[in-house]
Amino acid sequence: MSHRRRLAGALLALVAVTSVAACSGADDGANLSSAAPAAAAPTLGAELSAADFAAAAKREGTTILDVRTPAEFAEGHLPGAVNVDVEGADFATTIAQLDPKAPYAVYCRSGNRSAAALQLMQAAGFTSAYHLSGGIGAWQQAGGEVVTD
């Protein structure tokens, strides 16, 4: 029950952070955080560029999942991301608590673990999940923000 409450709290925090970020007036055009929300949802399992991932992740109701280890997450992650280690023993249990019909933007270090996570999520009945091509490295290279909160 405690794990479920922590996950719910993290998801609520994500919604709050996303809402605040969406109201930001900063728009210099050079940062991925200024990307407009994508008009259409990416297809299930799609591999997106950093710019397309940034735009898709801004769609209403999207949860950003970082599927790296907790240690990697602590070193830096995308703003508002929730850490669910795809190699952790509780990955299947954790994703089973999520809404399979909600949209999920998934990333890891290079794109390999996020692709594996997408396969597991798809097998678990998720209908709207996609991942970042090249992982957080590609995100940073494209000027995307990384936080260590």
Which residues participate in catalysis according to the annotation? 108
Sequence-distant contacts of 11-17: CB under 8 A, at least 24 apart: 11/63, 11/82, 13/80, 14/63, 14/64, 14/80, 14/81, 14/82, 17/79, 17/80
- Sequence-separated (6 or more) residues with CB below 8 Å from residue 51: 32, 35, 142
Contact 81, 53 (CB under 8 A): no
Contact 117, 106 (CB under 8 A): yes
